[in-house]
Amino acid sequence: MCVTTPELALSAHYRKAQRLLSAWLDADWTARRQVFAIRTALAALDATDRHRLTRWLAWWCLAVAGRGEWLLGRIERLDPVLGASTELALSMLPIKVDPSIVFRARKSA
């Protein structure tokens, strides 16, 4: 008997928001024109896609915290609601961050 797993289908709005956010977070701090496109893309997300995006951002924040970067401040400045939900998602991740790493990264942000 062959067992199949359903493939996760991501909406076009989610993929667009994720693509714009990842380019913005990777880019230098002068990418201000992208902010309006990102905010427009975020407004088009439904609740499910917004939740998926906050979990994705939380994992990304965790990944770069080890390098001494803290992206949460940038996310909060982009969209305070998205920042708050990302911080909540970060606290619910199964991997806990060393508080000294987060504190150092937040201080430098």
pLDDT for the residue numbered 31: 63
The candidate with the shortest Cα–Cα distance to 106, out of 79, 76, 81, is 76
Which pLDDT does position 43 carry in this prediction?
93
pLDDT band at 45 (very low <50, low <70, confident <90, very high): very high
pTM: 0.71
- In this structure, the number of other CB atoms found within 10 A of the CB of residue 106 comes to 12
CA angle 50, 96, 78 (to 5 degrees): 35
pLDDT at position 49 is 93
